[in-house]
Amino acid sequence: MRRIRSVKRSVRFPVSSTLLRRLALASIIANVAIVVTGGAVRLTASGLGCPTWPRCTDDSYTTTAEMGVHGVIEFGNRLLTFAVGIIALAVVLAVLAHRPRRRGLLPLAVGVLFGIPAQAVIGGITVLTNLNPWVVGLHFLASMAVIAAAYALWRRIKEPDGPVSPTVPAPLRTLAWITTAVSASVLVVGTWVTGSGPHAGDHGAARNSLDPTQISQVHADGVFLLIGLSVALYFAFRAVGAERAARAAAVLIAIELGQGVIGFVQYFTHLPGVLVGAHMLGSCLVLLATLGVLFATRERLPAAPPAPAEPVAEPVGAGA
């Protein structure tokens, strides 16, 4: 009886799958938002609005009136980190409260939660290194890793707990993984382009010494390759009747084309801040759409029901 009461207490406030999925989606949105606001910090030259870390000044954790609008912008972005962390913590608690307990959800939820302070520490290092462009790029890529983990959690919540089964032939799954790797490399090279450009986050911040024209061309070549692979995936998926994967590839192509247009326009208009910010948002959307294609190449089957218990044989003569 005592055991039954303890179980009832542990599920007094159960979390539904719908609520859990909504919280996971909120985590994705929040992490994308902090990428965009982080871009706003850099694009407004507010990267050193709070010139030290973890304090905003040597004597205060908050911005002061003397620091002006740049201090407000930088400190506001730091505050948003706490909001993102609270959402991630809510997701972890919701996973623990969800019944029945799901395999594979907790590691992803904890990964997102611990990724946020890790990303904040990298952000602090960017301030302490006076916005070193390589560290700034790492800060962005850390956010991409957290977004990827949050997306994987969101997708996993909807799936059953059985084994994974491919929905397309093995060569197409390999091609999807190659496309994902190329997408990741485009993000990496994109940070190099940013590090060579004019938006350093502060007027005195160093640049990475790469030639902006040459590295932009390398970035553009990677984008052309990514679009070509995505188009190949779309037609290959259609050829094998994998309509769900084909739809995911079509979404990826549309986002890539939109992102490409923004990239070319911002380059030839000398990188206006609004377009650079839109390009950062587009980078997040490209990552999510790429992961959407990868997840569409497989499905998770329902878990097998537990085997019935073996009947216990009654000893001979027990009923005599």
Could you read off the pLDDT of 75-122 as tens digits, one per residue?
888 889 999 999 999 999 999 998 888 878 999 999 999 999 998 899
Residue 182 is predicted with a pLDDT of 98
**Nearest CA to 127 among 54, 216, 32, 76?**
54
What pTM value is reported for the model? 0.88
Residue 254 is predicted with a pLDDT of 97
Residue 20 is predicted with a pLDDT of 93
Structure tokens at 63: 């911005």
Residue 8 is predicted with a pLDDT of 43
**Nearest CA to 190 among 289, 121, 266, 130?**
266
Residue 6 is predicted with a pLDDT of 47
Residue 223 is predicted with a pLDDT of 96
| Residues in the chain, pLDDT under 70 | 1-13, 66, 200, 202, 304-320
Residue 17 is predicted with a pLDDT of 86
Task: Dump pLDDT digits (tens) for 15-52.
Answer: 888 999 999 999 999 999 999 998 888 888 887 888 88
In sequence order, what are the residues at sequence separation of 6 or more whose Cβ sits closer than 8 angstroms to the Cβ of residue 260?
Answer: 223, 227
Residue 66 is predicted with a pLDDT of 67
Alpha carbon 303 to chain centroid distance? 28
Residue 147 is predicted with a pLDDT of 97
